[in-house]
Amino acid sequence: MFRRLPEVAGDAIPFTIDGRPASARAGDSVAAALLANGVTTCRNTPVSGAPRGPYCMMGVCFDCLVTIDGTGNRQGCQVRVAPGMAVETQDGKREVER
Amino acid sequence: MSGQATRFDFDIAVIGAGPAGLAAAALAAGRGASVVLLDEQAEPGGQIYRAVTETPVRDRKVLGPDYWHGAELLGPLRDSGAVHWPGSVVWSVARPREDGPRKDGADGPRRIQIGLSRNGVAALLTVRHVIMATGALERPFPIPGWTLPGVLGAGAAQVLLKTSGLVPSGATVMAGSGPLLWLLAWQYLQAGARIDAILDTTPRENWRAALPLLPGFLRSPYLGKGMKLMLEVRRKLTVIGNVTGLRAQGDGVLKSVTYSRNGVEQRLPADTLLLHQGVVPNLNLANATGCAQRWDEVQRCWRPTTDDWGATSVEGVALAGDGAGIGGARAAEEAGRLAALDALHRLGRIDRTQRDEAAAPFRAALDRALTGRAFLDTLYRPAEPFRVPADDTIVCRCEEITAGAVREAVRLGCSGPNQAKSFLRCGMGPCQGRLCGPTVTEVIAAERGVSPAEVGYYRLRPPVKPITLAELAALPKTEADIDAVLKH
Amino acid sequence: MTQPNRGGEYDVAIVGGGLVGSALAWGLARSGQRVVVLDEGDIAVRPSRGNFALVWVQGKGLGMPEYAGWTKQSSDDWAGFAGLLRDQTGIDVAFRRPGGFMPALSEEDLQARANAMMRLHNQPDMIRYPYEVMDRETLRRELPVIGPEVVGGTYCPLDGHCNSLRLLRTLHTGIGLLGVDYRPNHRVERIERRDGGFRLATAGGEIGAGKVVLAAGHDSARLAPMVGLSAPVRPQRGHIIVTEKTAPFLHHPTGYVRQTDEGGVMIGDSFEEAGFDTTLQPGVSSAIAARAIRMFPLLGRLNVVRSWAALRVLTPDGFPIYEQSATAPGAFVVTCHSGVTLAANHALTLAPLIAAGDLGDRFKVFSARRFHVPQAA
């Protein structure tokens, strides 16, 4: 669980997590925005189905994989949130169509 | 490319916009070389100065003066004329094959080809010289339950603070050892964030080993500050020392942390566990480029082999900063400048004397920056159980392979990580061994009773970062490339 | 069944611990032989770690019909072989034989494939097996994910695939259970015939054995002359690409693209004469990726997680060598570039013959003497 420091200003960026409305700030990566919105689990692994969340926040661990605007297995910590972005958590293996 | 022609050849490519990369690019471009600075992030700074141009944390005392030093590296870069390509993922560095006619029309060594991906489009750049400034990543901290959501690296938490002004809420435990753990705790203190406990895993015997090195450390102009900061944290927070065992527990998400101390187990409720036990060179790109590497017994990590200028075993490829061995941000900056001078010399822009003369102040500054490093390396060498975990602990997060499975592979005859990788898929996932490589080497070494140097490391191949098959398919190819696939 | 052990502590020393060597070791140990496997270390030219994992029949044997028969026999025996391994080790090597396709991207290509299959089957002494030449619509019913450029393809119901890395691990597990002595970091420097057996000087000391089997891949070229054999093999480089794990969508293997049991899509391959250089060539990877996307456009979205170049062990005609030395009886050479497909044969058919000390007439056609032609007539 993470909270925003009170001094953080700036406009809210609306986006969705699994279809639900959510809010990010300029400069947030998708992974940061998930944590800021109380979402610590972003996927279940393709190997055992175990839940995972962001771990390294610098693009090396590949644990924060999510589906962004219909494309699966994107590294949430390496993509900045954009207004209207549709972020989806993942269950197991990626589908080839998305 | 939008109307404007994009250049695809440069004298020098600098990979990574942390302290080493920023300093190297500014110096080389400032002296007239055409330089491209390639970096994954949207803004320069690397991890240490992450978001220094745009952090929402306005109160400068929270992140501290060492962080804000990073901003001073940006002016020289801007003025130098170096081309900065943010959002560029480098997935390959290679020399084109030596057979066939030369197409670059130049004398001397063949140009180096860089595979990169920008905005979902892959491209090949040709350059004459590469300076990799790929920095460090957190040393893996394999404990039972470290894959649970709610467990993050302390470095990850620091990125959240720098980029987004996020701090943990709910029960928060920090665990491990090393300067970054104390720095983050101090930053959280300044920010008024909650920390329930710090579980210090620094082995008691490390103090004894490090003590003789203390005088050197005390001479350091930079590192002494770290000691003050640690003392302040110890005064204000609950610090539990001599922790010899850690387990993260929860049902789908972290709920508690169990630690052992003096043979007694205690459990702390936790919503967030921040782990850290130092950093190791981020060497995947150098390894995949074919740069030789060696085992560093003091830092207990693999590091690419480099000379005094950062030159690797691959001609035209240099490494600067923590990617070549951990020295910290100030040392990285100076190493970047030295690598840039050597690049200018190799490209014929300055002669050897000019290089050596220009290097003198940087070398002196590098020595100053490295003063006391031996003390830190010795004090914060992680305890064996956290480097060589018990059988039931996952070591490869991607393929979910335990230390026990690695040991079983050794019993089947795997003498190193590459055979173990083919037997177990350990290190075959998308992180390409970054989160398991150091552990697998040490587990195999301990099981075989030989040194990690003898065991070796994963032999990596491009792409070191994923690119889509469509991106790969769109790259330029020669007739020979196509014939090699279709004419059979 | 054990023969007098005249050369030293083992009945058989196998040089090479890849798929060929470990399958033979497994089969020899099951035949009651005391076996040592001498292997190189963690970094080695090791095609067994880089292959494409097909158990493939279609199209093989043009120019040597006996090879087609040998291949089909292995394919037929593979399910039983996988079952024996599973019973012994508890590991499933994921052998599946759903039939395989060779999709064609032009009418010319399809015609060439159809002609090759016809010429193959028109050879004298050729075994018969079913195959089909399919037009686009027929193919699309079987493989709905083909792209618009695919005009048709050939199909053979005998074709399949397995998890070849798991096969390697399973064979090593199996030989361990059978008491085979596996010795890594034992590169063989010299082999001498002595006291009716063989002495092998290795990086890890001297080993004695009654028989020696060269299954060392590329290194057999160096070792074979030491025991009166020849193994004129050369490396041929092939690039392979693997994508991230994906939910199952490709239910048949094809010659160039297959989805593994773990979900990754393996994409091959290239044919390059580049010596022992395994440096990846971005242009070659690109050409492989481009062809795969023409066949299956959906693949374009997937992330590449790994790629590598491995070195096929090729004889001048591409067919295997199986031979016992005439001058140093007890020394055998076994080399092929289809260590996965032929694993069942090596374990179940060839190993017992080596244990008995006689390959018999069937293998004369696979002798390296076929390459010893006079230089000029």
**Distance, CA of B188 to CA of B283 (rounded, Å):** 30
Q: Report yes or no: C32 and C179 within 8 Å, Cβ to Cβ.
A: no
Looking from the CA of B338 toward its CB, the CA atoms found within 13 Å total 26
**Distance, CA of B174 to CA of B196 (rounded, Å):** 8
Tell me how crowded residue C50 is: count the other CB atoms within 10 A of its CB. 19
Chain C from 115 to 154: CB within 8 A of any A CB: 145
pLDDT number for residue C375:
54
pLDDT number for residue B95:
79
Residues of A in contact with B165 (CB under 8 A): 4-5, 7-8, 25
Q: Report yes or no: A42 and A66 within 8 Å, Cβ to Cβ.
A: yes
Distance from CA of A92 to the nearest CA of C (A): 8
At residue C192, the 3 state secondary structure works out as strand
Kindly report the backbone phi and psi dihedral angles of residue B217, in degrees, each rounded to the nearest multiple of 5, phi listed first.
-65, -40
Q: Is the dihedral of CA C193, C199, C201, C203 positive or negative?
A: positive
Fold classification of B388-455 (topology level): Arc Repressor Mutant, subunit A (1.10.10)
User: Does some domain include residue A6?
Assistant: no
CATH number listed for the domain at residues B140-277: 3.50.50.60
Instruction: Decide which of C44 and C61 is more confident.
Output: C61
pLDDT at position C377 over 50: no
pLDDT single digits (tens) C142-197: 999 999 999 999 999 999 999 999 999 999 999 999 999 999 999 999 999 998 89
pLDDT number for residue C195:
85
Residues of C in contact with A92 (CB under 8 A): 247
Which chains pack against A, by 3+ Cβ pairs within 8 A? B, C
At residue C308, the 3 state secondary structure works out as strand
**Distance, CA of C285 to CA of C270 (rounded, Å):** 8
**Which distant-in-sequence residues (6+ apart) come within 8 Å of C122 by Cβ?**
none
pLDDT number for residue B477:
92
How are strands ordered across the β-sheet holding A12-17? A20-25, A12-17, A86-88, A65-68, A71-75
Q: Output the CA–CA distances (angstroms, integers) from residue C303 to B69, B119, B124, C241, C283, in the order listed.
A: 37, 14, 18, 10, 17
Q: Are strands C152-156 and C100-104 parallel, antiparallel or unpaired?
A: antiparallel
Q: Output the CA–CA distances (angstroms, integers) from residue C166 to B457, B479, C23, in the order listed.
A: 21, 36, 13
Q: Is B155 on the interface with A (CB under 8 A)?
A: yes
Domain boundaries, chain B: 9-137+281-350, 140-277, 388-455
Which has the closest alpha carbon to B131: B292, B306, B339, B333?
B339
Residues of B in contact with A51 (CB under 8 A): 148-149, 252-253
User: Does some domain include residue A68?
Assistant: yes
Give the length of chain A. Answer: 98
Buried/exposed code over B350-371 (b: 16+ C-beta within 10 A; e: otherwise): beeeebeebbeebbebbebbbb
Kindly report the backbone phi and psi dihedral angles of residue B420, in degrees, each rounded to the nearest multiple of 5, phi listed first.
-60, -35
CATH number listed for the domain at residues C10-50+165-232+317-371: 3.50.50.60
What mean pLDDT, rounded, does chain C reach? 95
Tell me if C282 and B412 make a contact (CB, 8 A cut-off).
no
User: Does some domain include residue A98?
Assistant: no
Distance from CA of B423 to the nearest CA of A (A): 16
Helix then strand count (H, E) for chain C reads: 9, 17
Q: Report yes or no: A22 and A16 within 8 Å, Cβ to Cβ.
A: yes
Which has the closest alpha carbon to B139: B302, B264, B261?
B302
pLDDT single digits (tens) A16-33: 999 999 999 999 999 999
pLDDT number for residue C164:
97
pLDDT single digits (tens) C300-316: 999 999 999 999 999 99
Q: Is A27 on the interface with C (CB under 8 A)?
A: no
Tell me if B461 and C39 make a contact (CB, 8 A cut-off).
no
pLDDT single digits (tens) B57-74: 999 999 999 999 999 999
- Mapping DSSP onto H, E and C, the string for chain B reads CCCCCCCCEEEEEEECCCHHHHHHHHHHHHCCCCEEEECCCCCCCCCCCCCCCCCCCCCHHHHCHHHHHHHHHHHHHHHHCCEEECCEEEEEEECCCCCCCCCCCCCCCCCEEEEEEECCEEEEEEEEEEEECCCEEECCCCCCCCCCCCEEEHHHHHHHHHHHCEEECCCEEEEEECHHHHHHHHHHHHHCCCCCEEEECCCHHHHHHHHHHHHHHHCCCCHHHHHHHHHHHHHHCCEECCEEEEEEEECCCEEEEEEEECCEEEEEECCEEEEEECEEECCHHHHHHCCCEEEECCCCEEEECCCCCCECCCCCEEECHHHHCCCCHHHHHHHHHHHHHHHHHHCCCCCHHHHHHHHHHHHHHHHHHHCCHHHHHHHCCCCHHHHCCCCCCEEECCCCEEHHHHHHHHHCCCCCHHHHHHHHCCCCCCCCCCCCHHHHHHHHHHHHCCCHHHHCCCCCCCCCCCEEHHHHHCCCCCHHHHHHHHCC
Indicate the number of domains in chain A. 1
Closest Cβ–Cβ partner in B415, B469, B478 for C300: B469
Show the low-confidence residues of chain B (pLDDT under 70). 1-6, 97-110
Identify residue C155 by its one-letter amino acid code.
Y
The residue whose two tokens read 């029960």 is: B171
pLDDT single digits (tens) C204-245: 999 999 999 999 999 999 999 999 999 999 999 999 999 999
Domain boundaries, chain C: 10-50+165-232+317-371, 101-159+234-314
List, in sequence order, every residue forming a beta bridge with C333; answer none if it has no partner.
C214, C323
Q: Output the CA–CA distances (angstroms, integers) from residue B263 to B17, B201, B245, B259, in the order listed.
A: 45, 14, 9, 10
Q: Report yes or no: B465 and B89 within 8 Å, Cβ to Cβ.
A: yes
Which chains pack against B, by 3+ Cβ pairs within 8 A? A, C
**Which DSSP string do the residues of C207-243 spell out, in sequence order?**
EEEEEEEE--GGGHHHHGGGGT-----EEEEEEEEEE
List, in sequence order, every residue forming a beta bridge with C202; answer none if it has no partner.
C188, C205
What are the tokens at B413?
A: 């005859």
User: Does some domain include residue A1?
Assistant: no
Instruction: Decide which of C310 and C376 is more confident.
Output: C310
Q: Is B466 on the interface with C (CB under 8 A)?
A: yes
Kindly report the backbone phi and psi dihedral angles of residue C15, in degrees, each rounded to the nearest multiple of 5, phi listed first.
-95, 110
Q: Is the dihedral of CA C265, C269, C275, C279 positive or negative?
A: negative
Tell me if A56 and B54 make a contact (CB, 8 A cut-off).
no
List, in sequence order, every residue forming a beta bridge with A29; answer none if it has no partner.
A80
State which residue of chain C sits closest to A91, comparing Cα positions. Answer: C247
Q: Report yes or no: B195 and B234 within 8 Å, Cβ to Cβ.
A: no
Mutate to test the interface with C, among A93, A96, A97 (most CBs of C within 10 A): A96
Closest Cβ–Cβ partner in B58, B151, B399 for A7: B58
Which chains pack against C, by 3+ Cβ pairs within 8 A? A, B
Tell me if A32 and B163 make a contact (CB, 8 A cut-off).
yes
pLDDT at position C268 over 50: yes
DSSP class of residue C128 equals P
pLDDT number for residue C8:
61
What are the tokens at B23?
A: 């300093």
Instruction: Decide which of C147 and C282 is more confident.
Output: C147
Mutate to test the interface with B, among C180, C294, C305 (most CBs of B within 10 A): C305
Distance from CA of C175 to the nearest CA of B (A): 9
Q: Report yes or no: B40 and B88 within 8 Å, Cβ to Cβ.
A: yes
The residue whose two tokens read 């700036």 is: A10
Chain B from 113 to 152: CB within 8 A of any C CB: 113, 115, 124
**Distance, CA of C239 to CA of C270 (rounded, Å):** 5
pLDDT number for residue B467:
96
Q: What is the mean pLDDT of residues C76-87?
A: 98
Domain range for A42 is: 12-91
**Distance, CA of C235 to CA of C45 (rounded, Å):** 10
Instruction: Decide which of C48 and B262 is more confident.
Output: B262
Residues of A in contact with C263 (CB under 8 A): 46, 93
Tell me if A56 and B430 make a contact (CB, 8 A cut-off).
no
The residue whose two tokens read 């850690």 is: B246
pLDDT number for residue C43:
87
Fold classification of B9-137+281-350 (topology level): FAD/NAD(P)-binding domain (3.50.50)
The domain that holds A59 is classified in CATH as: 3.10.20.440
What are the tokens at B222?
A: 């930079």
**Which distant-in-sequence residues (6+ apart) come within 8 Å of C216 by Cβ?**
C15, C16, C21, C188, C223
Mutate to test the interface with A, among B166, B284, B424, B434 (most CBs of A within 10 A): B166
**Distance, CA of C352 to CA of C346 (rounded, Å):** 9
Residues of A in contact with C297 (CB under 8 A): none
Number of B–C residue contacts, CB under 8 Å? 153
What percentage of residues in chain C have a pLDDT greater than 90? 92
Which has the closest alpha carbon to C207: C183, C234, C226?
C183
pLDDT string in tens for chain A (98-residue length)? 899 999 898 889 999 999 999 999 999 999 999 999 999 999 999 999 999 999 999 999 999 999 999 999 999 999 999 999 999 999 999 999 88
At residue C177, the 3 state secondary structure works out as helix
**Which distant-in-sequence residues (6+ apart) come within 8 Å of C316 by Cβ?**
C232, C371
Which has the closest alpha carbon to B318: B350, B295, B346?
B346
Fold classification of C101-159+234-314 (topology level): D-Amino Acid Oxidase; Chain A, domain 2 (3.30.9)
pLDDT number for residue B226:
83
Q: Could you check whether C10-50+165-232+317-371 and C101-159+234-314 share the same CATH topology?
A: no
